[in-house]
Structure 1
Amino acid sequence: MRRTLIRYKTKPEAAERNAELVRAVFAELQAARPDGVRYLTLRLDDDSFVHVVETAADDGTSPIPKLKAFQQFQNGIRDRCLEPPAPRGAAVVGNYRMLNET
């Protein structure tokens, strides 16, 4: 299992469009229901976004990049950002009812 945290900050005028694109990714995930992946996105008050991705594969491969909605989200992401996406590996230090542990 591998966890990745991606953080970036959007331009104020692009934040809502970014959120719409993210919601479309989650809608497609709900419809496709792929195994081996868990995904959470938070929007912070300053229009930063934080994505947490957990994949069952040790190498971090995920079905998410294959989704049409994700490809649309990726298109132009850097143009929407003040601070570009910065992926980092992440480990859970503490968890109380937020994440399912298996």
Structure 2
Amino acid sequence: MKRTVIRYKTKPDMADRNAGLVAAVFAELKAARPEGLRYMSLRLEDDTFIHFVETAAEDGASALPKLAAFAAFQSGIRERCAEPPVAKGATIVGNYRMLSEN
């Protein structure tokens, strides 16, 4: 299992558009229901976005890049950002009913 946290800050005038693109990804995920993927996204009040991706595959292979909505989200991401995306591997230190215990 691989866990990744991605953090970036959007330009103020692009935050709502970014949130809409993220929502479209979740709508497609809900319809497609891919196995081996857990995904959460947060928007902080300063328009920083944090994405948490957990994939069952040790190599990090994920169904996300195969989604049309994710491709639309990725398109122009750097232009929407005041601070570009930074991805880091993550280890869960504590978890109280937020994530699966698997």
Q: TM-score band (shorter)?
A: over 0.9
State TM-score, norm by structure 1. Answer: 0.99
How much is the aligned-residue C-alpha RMSD, in angstroms?
Answer: 0.3
Q: Secondary structure at the match of 1:39?
A: strand
Q: Secondary structure at the match of 1:28?
A: helix
Instruction: Give CA-to-partner distance per residue, 1:28-84, whole Å, 9 cap, x none.
Output: 000000000000000001000000000000000101001000000000000000000
Kindly report which structure 2 residues correspond to 1:85-96, keeping only aligned pairs within 5 A, or say none: 85-96=85-96
In structure 2, what residue type is equivalent to 1:70?
F
Aligned to 1:42: 42
Aligned to 1:14: 14
Aligned to 1:59: 59
Aligned residues: 102
In structure 2, what residue type is equivalent to 1:52?
F
Deviation at 1:3, TM superposition (A): 0.1
Deviation at 1:101, TM superposition (A): 1.2
CA distance, structure 1, for counterparts of residue 85 and residue 12 of structure 2: 16
Q: Secondary structure at the match of 2:61?
A: coil
Instruction: Give unmatched runs, 5+ long, in structure 1.
Output: none
Instruction: Give unmatched runs, 5+ long, in structure 2.
Output: none
Identity in percent: 68
In structure 2, what residue type is equivalent to 1:34?
P
CA distance, structure 2, for counterparts of residue 97 and residue 34 of structure 1: 22
In structure 2, what residue type is equivalent to 1:7?
R
